[in-house]
Amino acid sequence: MLPESQQQIQLASRPEGTPTNANFHYKKVNVPQPSEREVLVKTLYLSVDPYMRGRMSDAKSYVEPFQLHEPLMGGAVGEVVESKSEQFQKGDFVVGMLPWQEYSIATEQQVRTIDPNVAPISTHLGILGLTGLTAYFGLLDIGQPKEGETVVVSGAAGAVGSVVGQIAKIKGARVVGIAGSDEKVSYLTETLGFDQGINYKTTDNIYASLKEACPNGIDVYFENVGGEIGDAALSLLNKHARIPVCGAISSYNKTDRDLGPRVQTRLIKSSALMKGFVVNDYNERFKEGATQLGQWLSEGKLSYEETITEGLDNVTDAFLGLFQGKNIGKQLVKIADPTK
Amino acid sequence: MLPESQQQIQLASRPEGTPTNANFHYKKVNVPQPSEREVLVKTLYLSVDPYMRGRMSDAKSYVEPFQLHEPLMGGAVGEVVESKSEQFQKGDFVVGMLPWQEYSIATEQQVRTIDPNVAPISTHLGILGLTGLTAYFGLLDIGQPKEGETVVVSGAAGAVGSVVGQIAKIKGARVVGIAGSDEKVSYLTETLGFDQGINYKTTDNIYASLKEACPNGIDVYFENVGGEIGDAALSLLNKHARIPVCGAISSYNKTDRDLGPRVQTRLIKSSALMKGFVVNDYNERFKEGATQLGQWLSEGKLSYEETITEGLDNVTDAFLGLFQGKNIGKQLVKIADPTK
């Protein structure tokens, strides 16, 4: 028996600088009814991701801003609890972009079915989902690491970074990860097989630490962080270095201008390539990426970590925690168990 | 009859900030004698180029620094006046990298013969030489302009920029050039066929001027200048924009750090590609580029301007003038007439 009403998380105000819980409000709304060719999905896991910070501002970006007093949305895994579509059956597990609430209507285009027997359903928000694909295409299409090259990853213990470093290892590169705690650094080197890790919070001079960790210079710098970490990496590029630019989390909450050394002369000196991307640039190749990631996972060549927060009440805290580096691996929020 | 001695221009001290004549000295040296498989070349034209500023500093770059109290070197066209090589005859015109002096020894690898009947010999330092090739490969390999796209070129009236804009026109793009005087802007639009020109020295707000000149955004930004002009262009990128980074002349003489808005989020928002390069990256394709440039030139599709200063005494002034934007098109120094 489904409830009649539910909680929905809305954007209450646009954050200035670092978001706080005051930017969100919980609103009681009805559980909707599906129309023809729609399904009702019970939310099981929500993904919270740094890129969502951008959508909370009003500025033009690669995705539309969230609207005030409308629900926030993001990647979600759920269970079909009512179907008026021939493509879905009650009990199917699905993944797609859904609002931050307990029950949602989805069209046939909005979600797709996932197989719970291949890997845990939550992995479709992480290593087998857009996170894994982000790492896969950014590293392999832009970074193109070659055997013996040095690959540096910032935000290395995060959802994307941890996959990037492992794929670089599969490709035979020497991998250095930059992260924000000793625990994360141990995770990189001991669990994920990175060659070296740097805790940027305890180093006096990130440039010197990075230089020491990369005696042969940097061939690929996978950028998740920006700021002074990015500046340092860009000072150590080898000839023909490649820089996939995936994120710049250090800048997302800045209220003043994000100023640093201009990159032009650095790029010229090393004939380096720097390319921004979003995973949707690779829409047409998702199947290729997902297949390869699934294969590596089944072969034990990739491991992953999930930081799982429990309950819709804690979604915003989980999101805010991303900017404090609280998560290791993929940050998820478990909203409900599957129906028995 | 050759003279016994000649003047040579040496680097007297490394410039701090903007170079001055005090950084150079003229030294009387002997006219050298060629050994086996060498030629003696009489210098006819010297090329002075902004990139040479980098070689005057001690910092690591893509080419070795000039040595103190050693001659400066650069692109030169000359005439073989004595040959001990079977590959060259007295009277041949040659191009290569030569010291800033009146007579030089060259090995067989150091120079190659040019045909004075195809185009004026000076063009082998400009539109048919490394300058033209720089424009050709940077624009076509990295920028890849498509018909109807908007291409913006900074340093547009300079040696490289003026060729870039013309090739972009050949490829059917809408071309906007940024230059530093009304005379240069007229040259761009009236002589070279650019669609629009901006005089950055008389505009209050380069961002606003560029935005007005590019109502459909920027698809390719060919970077010669850096600084605030580059910042403005990077704020107006379309999705999948490309930025060949050829130079950053505004920064070459800076003594403080060259700070500007970090580019990471801008590159992500537009999935843009930014790539530094030097013409030697394309060594293996020089023949292709030179052939195409020669064909366009003979078809009247490319025009070029040379700013020619006279005499070895004025080489350093010609070089220093580059940073004041004194030249239109290629800055050359004519050292001598060919032997009658």
Q: Does B288 map to a domain?
A: no
- Answer yes or no: do A206 and A309 share one domain: no
**What Rg, from alpha-carbon coordinates, does chain A have?**
20
Does residue B189 sit in the same domain as residue B257?
Answer: yes
Give the distance from residue A80's alpha carbon to the nearest chain B alpha carbon, in angstroms: 34
Query: Cβ–Cβ contacts within 10 Å for residue A285, how many?
Result: 13
- Tell me whether residues A262 and B268 touch, CB distance under 8 A: no
Q: Which of B334, B165, B331 is nearest to B244 (CA)?
A: B165
Which residues are paired to B38 by β-bridges?
A: B107
- What residues of B are in contact with residue A277 (Cβ under 8 Å)? 268, 271
Which residue in chain A is spatially nearest to B281 when comparing CA positions?
Answer: A271
CB contact under 8 A, A262 and B258: yes
Whether residue A20 is found in the same domain as residue A112: yes
Inspect the interface and report whether the beta carbons of A276 and B266 lie closer than 8 Å.
Answer: yes
Phi-psi region of A325 (alpha: psi -120 to 50; beta: other; left: phi over 0): left
Using a pLDDT cut of 90, give the percent of chain A over it.
94
How many separate domains does chain A show?
2
Q: What angle do CA B100, B104, B106 make, to 5 degrees?
A: 120
Q: Does one domain contain both B264 and B179?
A: yes
Identify whether residues B72 and B135 lie together within a single domain: no
Q: Is residue B59 pLDDT above 80, yes or no?
A: no
Cα atoms in the 13 Å half-sphere on the side-chain side of B202: 10
Closest-CA distance, A49 to chain B, in angstroms, reads 15
Q: Which residues of B touch A247 (CB under 8 A)?
A: 264, 268
- Residue B281 pLDDT > 80, yes or no? yes
Q: How confident is the model at residue B60 (pLDDT cuts 50, 70, 90)?
A: low
Residues 6+ apart with CB under 8 A from B109: none
pLDDT at B63: 74
pLDDT of residue A264: 97
Distance set, CA A308 to CA A10, A318, B147, B216 (Å): 21, 9, 50, 44
pLDDT in tens, A119-157: 999 999 999 999 999 999 999 999 999 999 999 999 999
Q: Which of B61, B226, B270 sits opposite A262 (nearest CB)?
A: B226
Residue of B nearest to A261 (CA): B259
pLDDT at A58: 86
Which two three-digit tokens encode residue A23?
């930017």
Among the listed residues B134, B61, B122, the one whose alpha carbon sits nearest the alpha carbon of residue B338: B122
Buried b (16+ CB within 10 A) or exposed e, A170-182: ebebbbbbbbbbe
Kindly list the distances between the CA atom of residue A75 and the CA atoms of A94, A112, A216, A331, B114, in Å, as whole numbers in the listed order.
Answer: 11, 12, 39, 12, 63
| CATH code (residue A260) | 3.40.50.720
Q: What is the DSSP letter of B180?
A: S
Q: What pLDDT is attached to residue A62?
A: 65
**Residue A116 sits in the same domain as residue A142:** no
List the CATH number of the domain containing B11.
Answer: 3.90.180.10
Instruction: Please provide the distance, in angstroms rounded to a whole number, between the alpha carbons at the two ends of chain B.
Output: 13
Contacts of A259 in chain B (CB under 8 A): 259-262
Give tens-digit pLDDT for A240-260.
999 999 999 999 888 888 999
Q: Which residue type does B44 have?
A: L
Whether A189 and A261 share a structural domain: yes
Name the closest residue on chain B to residue A274, using Cα atoms. B274
Structure tokens at B10: 């040496």
Q: Are residues A138 and A230 in the same domain?
A: yes
Residues of chain A in contact with residue B272, where contact means CB-CB under 8 angstroms, are 275-276
Q: Residues B168, B63: one domain?
A: no
What is the value of ipTM here, to two decimals?
A: 0.93
Residue A255, pLDDT score: 85
**HSE of A299, CA atoms in CB hemisphere, 13 A:** 8
Residue B258 contacts residue B251 (beta carbons within 8 Å): yes
Q: Is residue A291 part of a domain?
A: no
Cβ <8 Å between B273 and A274 = yes
pLDDT in tens, A16-48: 999 999 999 999 999 999 999 999 999 999 999
> CB pairs below 8 Å between A and B: how many?
121
User: Residue A63, exposed/middle/buried by CB under 10 A (0-12, 13-18, 19+)?
Assistant: middle
Examine residue B77 and state whether it is found in any structural domain, yes or no: yes
Q: Which two tokens stand for residue B61?
A: 């770059």
Contact A268 B281 (CB under 8 A): no
Residues of A in contact with B248 (CB under 8 A): 262, 264-265, 268
A206-213 and A227-234 helices, crossing angle to 10°: 50
Is the same domain home to A115 and A224?
A: no
Residue A79 lies in a domain: yes
Query: How many angstroms away from the CA of A238 is the closest CA of chain B?
Result: 10
Q: Which of A260, A270, A271 sits opposite B262 (nearest CB)?
A: A260
Taking only the tens place, the pLDDT of each residue in A282-299 is 999 999 999 999 999 999
Query: Is the CB of residue A265 less than 8 Å away from at least one CB of chain B?
Result: yes
| Contact assignment for B245 to A267 by CB distance below 8 Å | yes
Residue A12 to residue A25: CA distance in whole angstroms: 6
In a domain, B141, yes or no: yes
**DSSP string covering A7-50, please?**
EEEEE-S--SSS--GGGEEEEEEEPP---TTEEEEEEEEEE--T
Q: Residue A216: is its pLDDT beyond 70? A: yes
Domain that holds residue A216: 130-280
Q: Which of residues 53-112 of B touch A (CB under 8 A)?
A: 60-62
Among candidates A239, A257, A276 on the partner chain, residue whose Cβ is nearest the Cβ of B267: A276
Residues of A in contact with B251 (CB under 8 A): 262, 264-265
| Distance separating alpha carbons of residues B157 and B50, to the nearest angstrom | 14
Does the distance separating the beta carbons of B259 and A248 come in below 8 Å? no
Q: Are A271 and B275 inside 8 Å of each other by CB? A: yes
The 8-class DSSP code of residue B98 comes to E
Residue B296 placed within a domain: no
Q: What are the tokens at B43?
A: 């210098």
Taking phi first (over 0 means left), then psi (-120 to 50 degrees means alpha), and beta for anything else, what does residue B218 get? beta
Partner-chain contact A273 B274, CB within 8 Å:
yes
Under the banding of pLDDT at 50, 70 and 90, the label for residue B146 is: very high
3-state secondary structure of A107: strand
Question: Which of these three, B265, B281, B297, is where a domain ends?
Answer: B281
- What integer pLDDT is reported at residue B166 of this predicted model? 98
Contact A267 B275 (CB under 8 A): yes
pLDDT computed for residue B58 by the predictor: 86
Nearest-10 Cα torsion for A130, A277, B269, A52: 20
Helix (H) or strand (E) holding A106: strand A103-107
Q: Kindly state the helix (H) or strand (E) to which residue B7 belongs, with its residue range.
A: strand B5-11
A114 strand-pairing partners: A93
Contacts of B58 in chain A (CB under 8 A): none
Is residue A248 domain-shared with residue A170, that is, in the same domain?
yes
Query: Which chain B residue is nearest to residue A59, measuring alpha carbons?
Result: B269
- Are B152 and B237 a contacting pair, CB within 8 Å? no
CB A219, CB B220: distance < 8 Å: no
pLDDT value, residue B64 = 84
In this complex, which of A230, A264, A281 lies closest to B248 when CB atoms are compared?
A264
Q: Tell me what pLDDT residue A307 has.
A: 95
H/E element, B273: strand B273-276
Rounded distance, CA A198 to CA A210, Å?
A: 8
Whole-angstrom distance, CA of residue A163 vs CA of residue A165: 5
Residue B298 forms part of a structural domain: no
Residue A94 and residue A145 in one domain: no
Please check whether residue B52 lies inside any domain of the structure: yes
Whether residue A168 has pLDDT greater than 70: yes
Is the per-residue pLDDT at A309 higher than 90? yes
Give this prediction's pTM. Answer: 0.93
